[in-house]
A = this chain, B = another copy of it.
């Protein structure tokens, strides 16, 4: 079977996230698998670089799937874009070596969280989180964000319950920019725990308002208890914007 790597854009507003689930309908994975299985006349499974939660968007999610087809990559892309709903778009596709796996081979991913501090542009309003109580101190946000850099146990900054898996991750960079009423928090890490970006963004936001100190954050790292961290910001403001791989495949 051939292995294909695809880049995908989606408006997550009406989806229950990426991952197919037993008792929940309307996931993005399902949409892909249903169209791909019809195209290939055999069951196709698709793997994304990471699950995005319900309501989270993607500018450039990466996924891969294996299938038997005589279509060229360009023809597959056209087929998918024709049959997928308009809030899902395949932006590129290529055949890759059989060993390529979008999640296992991903070196790091960048998410962007956007907070609007004034009523946002009507055409992008669904992709930002609008806070009505004014602009926080962005310099303070930048300052406190530095505490998250590097390798830590992020259990206290996640919604992960009990788990035997490692909750240690490495954040490579956090960039915060403010322009015309939009604060964009970009976080790149080797991996993310459940709700991790939204809780870190919420903690940075709360810290800028003086509710949480850099010391509190350090204490949460050692205590590993979510209760002390900031709010989980809503899904609508979150977008997966880039996935990095070691080798160009």
Show the binding face of A for B, using Cβ within 8 Å. 9-11, 57, 81-82, 86-89, 118-125, 127, 130, 132
Task: Flag if A121 contacts B89 (CB, 8 Å).
Answer: yes
Task: Flag if B124 contacts A89 (CB, 8 Å).
Answer: no
Bound-state CA distance A53–B112 (Å) is 36
Tell me the minimal C-beta distance from A52 to chain B in angstroms: 13
Question: 15 A-B residue contacts at CB 8 Å?
Answer: A9-B121, A9-B122, A9-B123, A10-B122, A11-B123, A11-B125, A57-B123, A81-B119, A82-B119, A86-B119, A86-B120, A86-B125, A87-B125, A89-B119, A89-B121
Tell me the minimal C-beta distance from A243 to chain B in angstroms: 17
Beyond contacts A81-B119, A82-B132, A89-B121: 16 other A-B pairs, Cβ-Cβ < 8 A, are A9-B121, A9-B122, A9-B123, A11-B123, A11-B125, A57-B123, A81-B118, A86-B119, A86-B120, A86-B122, A86-B125, A86-B130, A87-B122, A87-B125, A89-B119, A89-B120
Bound-state CA distance A127–B120 (Å) is 17
Bound-state CA distance A118–B80 (Å) is 12
Bound-state CA distance A81–B117 (Å) is 12
Bound-state CA distance A159–B87 (Å) is 32
Bound-state CA distance A209–B193 (Å) is 52
Tell me the minimal C-beta distance from A235 to chain B in angstroms: 15
Task: Flag if B123 contacts A127 (CB, 8 Å).
Answer: yes
- Chain B residues positioned under 8 Å from A132 (CB to CB): 82
Identify the interface centre among A82, A86, A130: most chain B CB within 10 Å of its CB.
A86
- Chain B residues positioned under 8 Å from A122 (CB to CB): 9-11, 86-89
**Shortest Cβ distance from A80 into B: residue:** B119
The 7 closest A-B pairs by CB, nearest first: A81-B119, A11-B122, A9-B122, A86-B125, A89-B122, A87-B122, A89-B119
Tell me the minimal C-beta distance from A31 to chain B in angstroms: 13
Task: Flag if B123 contacts A124 (CB, 8 Å).
Answer: yes
Bound-state CA distance A130–B87 (Å) is 13
Identify the interface centre among A87, A123, A130: most chain B CB within 10 Å of its CB.
A123
- Chain B residues positioned under 8 Å from A88 (CB to CB): 122
Identify the interface centre among A82, A122, A125: most chain B CB within 10 Å of its CB.
A122
- Chain B residues positioned under 8 Å from A125 (CB to CB): 11, 86-87
Bound-state CA distance A81–B181 (Å) is 14
